[in-house]
Amino acid sequence: MKGHRERVLGALIALIAAVPEVQAAPTTPPNLVLVSIDGLRADRTGVYGASPSPTPGLDRLAAVGLVCDLALSQSNESLFSHAALLTGRHPSEIAPPDYHSFVLPSSALLIPEILKVYGYARAAFVAGGHVKGVYGFEQGFDPYWDDADFGSFFHTVPQAQAWLAEAPRAPFFMFLHGYDTHRPYLHAGLYNHVFDSDYRPSSAGNVDDVLIQSRIERVVDGSYYSDFPFQYFWHPGAAERILDPGGYARLREYAATHVGKPITPRDAQHIRAHYDSGALSADIQLSRFVETLHASGAWDHTLMAVVADHGEDLGDHGLYNHRSTLADSATRVPMILTGGALPEALRGHHIPGLCSAIDVAPTLLHAAGAVLPPDLPGRDLLSDAPAPPYIIQEGVLPMIAVRTLTHRLTVQGLPLDSPLLELLVRVAPIAAPTFSLYDLEHDPAEQINVLQTQPDVARTLREHLLSWLASRKAQGQGQAGPALDPAFRDLLRQRGYW
């Protein structure tokens, strides 16, 4: 780790020597808003093809915005994914990627910490859960409101509106978040049955009861196992009680020897209707917030990024959660840039290549005229920077994936922080169950493993993954390293580098 620290310091010193003056900021830096609709799948929005659309407000924003056609989260869970969104780095670049203990260290640089140097007011209105400040997300924000545990935009938007009414100094950066589309698909809002209101229980029972009891994660492969004992663990850094995602594998084993109650196709349709109702509820609240920006005159000077941290499987791969798979159902998300500060030439356009969560930080920081920390792996989506050939995704279970425009290769079997992970990827036979390959051009639902029929593709994607793992290892990442010397850190900030 000492060598890594020296390399970091050397790179920063080289930057200072190469750019002796602080980069000039725009004369009127834009307000910046980052909206995270927790758990929203891209394909459940109108702009990405859902019909009828449960997101008319978001669709209108997209029509005058810049839309990433294929946007992916860096992980399949709120904690890892928001860490990537707010730092511009992969989870394993931030801290050891162990879900049982992951927390953003004080040495991590978040968007608001950098924007503070440039005079931004910085506020976050977050619906608690795994994005609470105790996980390290509050760094650089003032205030960081997270009082509604696993709440919705119904809770956070009024707080954001109240803060705006106090006329914060311009420019400002706001992080706005809600769990409206997160399981159990019954979050506080205006309604939960706007879609599929004529649903009637089958002989197997009322699926609403499963949702009300918050037991939807006990459904596997079309059956509900009401007595399955999920386990919890205590997160040592946040002192939070968290559901153990390893229970999904145990649930499948349990289902092999127990009889569950069937979830009929009609029940499954109703569950999705609840999910879509959550999307509509989030959409209405977000539209209220946008109207507040318009009414105050702030919209004309605001760049807004609307994203999701992950999707939701909704039974596509047998389970109702997002942490058991890195498939598109759990990781393909909306990503839209909009607002009056979006360059007019980009409005109404689409980005056809791969986009991911790590692109959000450099995009917003460039818009503010900020100097970026070195070696951020993402790109500015408002620039003509080329799209990457592949995206790396890290799961909270032992799985890692490389996704191209057409394929996803997933490797599972070892924890992401295992020193043997690179060796496993390199020497293990490219075969199930360690490897899986899906051709998303011909199988967008990712149901057919094509390892045997497309071995050359699998080998190419494995080389991509090995290259990324080697790069991470060379940079000393995947471990929590020592913070920079405080005096040197202050000097860098004074010079505009942080």
Model confidence band, residue 212 (pLDDT cutoffs 50, 70, 90): confident
In a domain, 317, yes or no: yes
Radius of gyration (Cα) for the chain, nearest Å?
A: 22
Kindly report the length of the chain. 498
The tokens of 73 are what? 């989260």
Model confidence band, residue 23 (pLDDT cutoffs 50, 70, 90): very low
Q: What per-residue confidence (pLDDT) applies to 286?
A: 97
φ, ψ (nearest 5 deg) of residue 31: -65, 150
CA 163 from chain center: how many Å? 25
CA 346 from chain center: how many Å? 24
Answer positive or negative: Cα dihedral of 230, 231, 235, 241: positive
Q: What per-residue confidence (pLDDT) applies to 2?
A: 42
The tokens of 204 are what? 């197997």
Rounded average pLDDT over 356-373: 96
pLDDT at residue 84 tops 80: yes
Cβ atoms 376, 498 nearer than 8 A: no
Answer positive or negative: Cα dihedral of 48, 54, 60, 61: negative
Cβ-count burial 473-489 (b if 16+ within 10 Å, e if not): eeebbbeebeebeeeeb
Can you tell me the distance from the alpha carbon of 389 to that of 254, in angstroms, rounded to the nearest whole number?
40
The tokens of 459 are what? 């080998």
In a domain, 367, yes or no: yes
Rounded average pLDDT over 348-376: 95
The overall pTM is greater than 0.95: no
In a domain, 450, yes or no: no
Burial class of residue 134, CB neighbours in 10 A (0-12, 13-18, 19+): middle
Rounded average pLDDT over 328-342: 98
pLDDT at residue 205 tops 60: yes
In a domain, 2, yes or no: no
Model confidence band, residue 327 (pLDDT cutoffs 50, 70, 90): very high
Model confidence band, residue 172 (pLDDT cutoffs 50, 70, 90): very high
Adjacency order of strands within the sheet including 399-403 = 391-394, 399-403, 407-412, 435-439
pLDDT at residue 1 tops 50: no
Cβ atoms 77, 99 nearer than 8 A: yes
Answer positive or negative: Cα dihedral of 112, 113, 119, 125: positive
Model confidence band, residue 115 (pLDDT cutoffs 50, 70, 90): very high
Per residue in 128-140, pLDDT (tens digit) is 999 999 999 999 9
Q: What per-residue confidence (pLDDT) applies to 20?
A: 37
pLDDT at residue 344 tops 60: yes
Using the 8-state DSSP alphabet, how is residue 44 labeled? Answer: G
Cβ-count burial 49-73 (b if 16+ within 10 Å, e if not): ebeebbbbbbbbbbeebbbbebbbb
Count the neighbouring beta carbons within 10 Å of the beta carbon of residue 186: 16
Can you tell me the distance from the alpha carbon of 456 to that of 459, in angstroms, rounded to the nearest whole number?
5
φ, ψ (nearest 5 deg) of residue 84: -65, -40
Q: Residue for token digits 């140097």?
A: 117
In a domain, 458, yes or no: no
**By mean pLDDT, which of 7-11, 25-29, 347-351 is the weakest?**
7-11
In a domain, 122, yes or no: yes
Determine what percent of the chain is predicted with pLDDT higher than 90: 79
Rounded average pLDDT over 243-253: 93
In a domain, 306, yes or no: yes
Q: In the chain, how many domains are there? A: 1
> For all residues of the chain together, what is the average pLDDT?
89
- Full domain range(s) for residue 180: 10-186+267-390
Count the neighbouring beta carbons within 10 Å of the beta carbon of residue 428: 14
pLDDT at residue 481 tops 70: no
φ, ψ (nearest 5 deg) of residue 87: -115, -25
Who contacts 407 (Cβ-Cβ below 8 Å, separation ≥6)? 437, 438, 439, 440, 454, 457, 461
Q: What per-residue confidence (pLDDT) applies to 8?
A: 41
CATH number of residue 76's parent domain:
3.40.720.10
Can you tell me the distance from the alpha carbon of 379 to that of 355, in angstroms, rounded to the nearest whole number?
9
Can you tell me the distance from the alpha carbon of 425 to that of 412, in angstroms, rounded to the nearest whole number?
9
Using the 8-state DSSP alphabet, how is residue 169 labeled? Answer: P
Model confidence band, residue 497 (pLDDT cutoffs 50, 70, 90): very low
In a domain, 281, yes or no: yes
